[in-house]
Structure 1
Amino acid sequence: MPAELLIGIDVGTYSSKGVLVNLQGEVLRQHVIPHGISMPAPGHVEQDADAVWWADTLSILKELLSGPYSGADVAGVACSAIGPTLLPLDEAGRPLRPGILYGVDIRAQDQIEALNREIGEATILAHSGMALTSQAIGPKIRWLREHEPEIWARTRTLTTASSYLTYRLTGQHVMDHHTAAHTMPLYDPKARTWTYQFALPVLGDKDLEALPRLAWGDEKAGEVTPEAAALTGLRAGTPVAVGTVDALSEAISVGVSQPGDLMVMYGSTTFFVLVQDTPTPDSRVWSVGGAFAPQHNLAAGMSTTGSLTRWIADELARELPTDQAYDALFREAAAVAPGADGLLLLPYFSGERTPINDTRAKGVIAGLTLSHTRAHLFRAALEGVGFGIRQNIEAFRDLGADVRRIVAVGGGAKTRTWLQIVSDISGEAQELPAVTVGASYGDAFLAGLAAGLLKRGDLQSWVKISDTVQPNTEMRAGYDRLYELYHDLYTQTRPTVHALGDLAEAGRGG
């Protein structure tokens, strides 16, 4: 019997997930492994490539390829992971340090400012189609070169999380165009190649050969090597797709594949992917390559959303069993009136990415009184995220991007209370897919494409919409006023929270 099953594996910020599916998109097996992150210094967020990314991948494959299934049944594999993330490798392909995570890691602010001075902000925007932010890998490469010279001297390859997993499976260093666009200013989005034009300020003594070769996420990166087969249970020679970042695979998993489709992913952070025929560069958001040639994506991301609700659960609901805390908090929040009785929260607990791009932003809670409860605070957090989502969607439309429909995905999208709050705040309907397995499901589809067993049009039969959250128009006026105050609160408190951050840094001896 020919191999006709597909495996998708996604390594996220707080968990990894794998699925085994057939060619019709039916999920046969799935497995989830929780994990954590490391924050060795303020603003530094890391994960271990082997102890987390690769170890989770091996455990997931062992679970999926047990019972009635084996590697002989698998026709293709694809991996996605948190990104864009920086991982330096030595000449043997071994990680030299933990991976430096995406935009939640804000260590490279000095390097962003230096590159803007040396190259010019306008020049970078014109070249890359977006401004340097904490999401960019280029400044983090320079940080590595300046702050860890011993590791830099041993570095032979600069890769990212999904590319590392593909490398462990195939022995090939490959990066997809979506991720490469964030390796700015080393990537030329017009030519879709690496470029030496601005390489010197970033790479110093290294050349572009330190970067993986470029391809699209649905292309074949290589085949499972005999060494990887022995470790994973996969059959040597099994096709492996190039893969991509988790957010883009998540978009594929729910059918966000046509121009005008926008995915809003409610995860530890909130991520936005809008499919475009032609790019619309802007300094507020990210203009990157799409999942499939020759598409483009307009992408954006908030820094602290699901991780904010987790913080509240961890710090303010310790008496609740872990498996019950979120349900209880959402029930409490649903009983609080819109506006949380005059409580307003800025969800910038890890700085903020788009559209304000302020790594020094901080969380602010305004309007507290003795009558406010934990339920009010949780409601205000959900609304604060809602205001940030509205702000990003409005930024897309302000620059002329076409947003035709919105699909909501992720762990937060399983909670009707939060979805209704966001729709009421933004005035936008949100479609809900019938199957919400996550990015690993999109990876399985990429695996089928890379193996030559699926066509892009097959995605329509894989994904069905089961429900739509419609905005309550009666809530709009009140939320419009709170949205104005949300903007004002950030503008008016920005100098204060920046100064507080400086004091905290000085107190730590920074």
Structure 2
Amino acid sequence: MPRNAVVGVDIGTSSSKGVLVGLDGTLIRSAVREHTPDRPGPGRFEMDASVWWDEFTALTRELTAPGDTTVVAVGVSGMGPCVLLTDEHDTPVRPAVLYGVDTRSVPQIDRLERQLGADAVVRRCGSALTTQAAGPKIAWIAEEEPEHYARARRLYMPSSWLVRRLTGAYVLDHHSASQCTPLYDTHAGDWHAPWAAEVAPGIDLPPLRWSGDAAGTVTAEAARATGLPPGIPVTTGTIDAWAEALSVGAQNIGDLMLMYGTTMFLIHTVPEPLTSPSLWGTVGALPGTRNLAGGMATSGAVTNWLRDLFADADHATLTRQAAEAGPGANGLLMLPYFSGERTPVMDPDARGVIAGLTLSHTRGDLYRAALEATAFGVRHNVEGIEAAGGDIRRVVAVGGGTQGPLWTQIVSDITGRPQELRAVTIGASYGGALLAARLVADADIDDWNPVRNTVTPRAENAARYEELYGLYRRLYPETRATVHALASLQER
């Protein structure tokens, strides 16, 4: 007799991932579809929403094809905050504008800060207006592409788009809404109608639910497209990093999740709202939770870039050579701002810097410097979280970058903090499966996904990394004017 199972699917920046999971948390199967965002100009990242649905249907059919399970619920998540605008018939008016890696909305941020008041936005919304926020991206479309905006009536993100295609429901989760600054009031827990009318006129903003709430059930039409049983419940879903945190149990007060992926993301759970000009204050994925979050614009994206440059080497080879290079990468120091930087720098015109290069440096040194740069960026964010009042009691790591021991060890050495690793670190799709399972059964994350290892800092590397971190913190302000000038040249 087929066993009952749930499906979790996450639409990420560079791939869509799906998992089939038993109601006891056992990972039965996983599948991946890789994709590449479109880059129509400097600082612009977009994606056709048809990719999201096409890959979802391919994943569910692959996961369920053997016929040895009965799927009883579906969980979804996706990168965000993204802005997909559609007309009243759910036809996209243009490709989706992606999250903070897309930096086109700087002029709209400047205008909205003058119009609404920068301090007022932080007080009401929990976060400053940055290129991460969805509101300025909507304003950019309205101002720069009025012919497209004139047709726009609805707002979607990857997770809510999947929900719409699966169930017909037009909903969004509270957490995703809280990243639509300045449209959402974190204190009222609802859209702020006056600012929504000002920033997103004509858009019928979706009703709000919590990530683990059932948005609806799979329609007959969606069942035919996906191979899923009709009538099973679908979660409302959320942004990928928050699903990642749920997948490893990092949602208790004092927890900090580190997500090792194409970008690095940090989520700290706090007992009450905290704000910072260099971080994002949000509501959590679960009712009653609050977060102070940060996100680097690149991390794994830089190592992928290096792998592509060295076409005859894969990540395993480069990681081995980086381990041989040793702490400090033989005197190389990198700023990982290859797509600008989000927190805590908040500078879309920042650029990558590699300092200390000589003719004797190897690709292993460069790869090591990239891993260390990410770790220095994590430490910079951690210090910002604590300066804002955060109290980090436990660090939990998740994501593809945790599969080998080197990267997590470097981060622990540089931050001086242990990191818990759970048995399953596949990430957001597994978190989506957990929420789906909770729609139909009791599912406790400590039973589903116990701790398997703790990475501890190595004292022998502390002095070297302390010196390098001081240089890292100096390198950005000392090169800022130069890289801003270069960023201007790149846009011509």
Q: Bin the TM-score by the shorter chain.
A: over 0.9
CA distance in 1: counterparts of 2:416 and 2:475, whole angstroms: 22
Query: 1:431-479: CA deviations, max 9, x gaps?
Result: 1111122211110111122x24225xx2221111111111011211221
Equivalent residue, structure 1, for 2:48 = 48
- Aligned residue for 1:407, secondary structure, equals strand
Question: What SS does the corresponding residue of 2:195 show, helix, strand or coil?
Answer: coil
Distance in 2 (alpha carbons) for counterparts of 1:475 and 1:16: 37
Question: Match for 2:299 among 293, 305, 308?
Answer: 305
The whole-number CA distance in structure 1 between the counterparts of 2:20 and 2:383 is 38
Q: Given that residues 130 and 283 in structure 1 are in contact (C-alpha distance below 8 angstroms), is that contact kept between their aligned partners in structure 2?
A: yes
Corresponding residue for residue 320 of structure 2 = 331
Instruction: Return the alpha-carbon distance in structure 2 between the equivalents of residues 224 and 180 of structure 1.
Output: 24
Contact 2:13 2:262 in 1 (8 A): yes
Structure 1 unaligned residues grouped into runs of 5+: none
Task: Return the alpha-carbon distance in structure 2 between the equivalents of residues 62 and 114 of structure 1.
Answer: 46
Match of residue 202 from structure 2: 206
CA shift for structure 1 position 8: 0.6
CA contact (8 A) 2:3 2:68 kept: no
Which of 196, 216, 220 in structure 2 is aligned with 1:222?
A: 216
Distance 2:432 2:411 in 1: 28
1:24 matched to 2:20? no
CA positional deviation for 1:341? 2.1
The answer for the alignment partner of 1:319 in structure 2 is 312
Partner of 1:460: 446
- Contact map agreement 1:217 1:242 (CA 8 A) in 2: yes
8 Å Cα contact 2:72/2:440 also seen in 1: no
SS of the residue 1:335 aligns to: helix
Letter in 2 for 1:479: Y
Residue 3 of structure 1: CA displacement?
7.9
The TM-score, its normalising length taken from structure 1, stands at 0.94
**Could you list the per-position Cα deviations for residues 135-184 of structure 1 after superposition, in whole angstroms to 9, with x for gaps in the alignment?**
10000000010111111111110111111011100111111111101111
Residues 38-83 of structure 1 show CA distances to partners (whole Å, capped at 9, x for unaligned) of 1011110011111x2100100011111212246xx22111111111
Structure 2 counterpart SS, 1:297 = strand
Partner AA of 2:307 in structure 1: A
Give me the TM-score of the superposition, normalised by structure 2: 0.97
1:486 aligns with 2:472: yes
Tell me the CA shift for residue 372 of structure 1: 1.4
Picking from 482, 485, 490, the partner of 1:499 is: 485
- CA distance in 1 between partners of 2:323 and 2:312 (Å): 20
Give 3-state SS (helix, strand or coil) of 1:198's partner. Answer: helix
The answer to whether the 8 Å contact 2:105/2:140 transfers is yes
Over residues 387-406 of structure 1, what are the superposed CA-to-partner deviations in whole Å (9 max), with x where a residue is unaligned? Answer: 00111111111111121111
Provide the residue aligned with 1:144 in structure 2: 141
Give the whole-Å Cα distance in 1 for the aligned partners of 2:464 and 2:262. 28
Q: Distance in 2 between matches of 1:343 and 1:30?
A: 38
Question: Does 2:424 align with 1:424?
Answer: no
Task: Answer yes or no: is 1:193 the counterpart of 2:190.
Answer: yes
Structure 2: gaps (5+ residues): none
Partners of 1:242 and 1:504 in 2: CA distance: 40
Residue aligned with 2:150, SS: helix
Q: Which residue of the partner structure matches residue 102 of structure 1? A: 99
Secondary structure, aligned partner of 2:194: coil
Q: State the one-letter code of the partner of 1:319.
A: D
**Which one of the candidate residues 383, 397, 416 is aligned to 1:408?**
397
Match of 1:87 in 2: 84
CA RMSD, aligned part only? 1.4
Structure 2 counterparts to residues 373-392 of structure 1, below 5 A: 373-392=362-381
Counterpart CA distance in 2 for 1:333 and 1:439 is 28
Opposite residue 71 of structure 2, the aligned amino acid is V
Contact 1:124 1:131 in 2 (8 A): yes
Q: Which residue of 1 aligns with 2:353?
A: 364
User: How far, CA to CA, are the matches of 2:406 and 2:385 in structure 1?
Assistant: 25
119, 129, 133: which one aligns with 2:130: 133
Q: Does residue 238 of structure 2 align to residue 241 of structure 1? A: no
**In 1, Cα distance between the equivalents of 2:442 and 2:145?**
45
The aligned counterpart of 1:34 is 34
Per-residue deviation, 1:270: 0.2
Does the Cα contact within 8 Å between 1:159 and 1:211 map onto a contact in 2? no
Distance 1:460 1:215 in 2: 25
Task: Give the Cα–Cα distance (whole angstroms) in 1 for the partners of residues 65 and 2 of structure 2.
Answer: 18
Counterpart of 1:318, as a letter, is A
Which residue in the other structure is 1:277 paired with? 271
Structure 1 position 347, deviation (Å): 0.3
Q: Is the 8 A contact 1:99 1:161 kept in 2?
A: no
Per the TM alignment, residue 36 of structure 1 is displaced from its structure 2 partner at its CA by: 1.3
Whether the aligned pair in 1 keeps the contact of 2:400 and 2:425 (CA below 8 Å) is no
Shift of 1:426: 0.7
CA contact (8 A) 2:267 2:293 kept: yes
Tell me the distance in 1 between the aligned counterparts of 2:427 and 2:326.
32
Take 2:412 and 2:2, find their aligned partners in 1: how far apart are those partners? 46
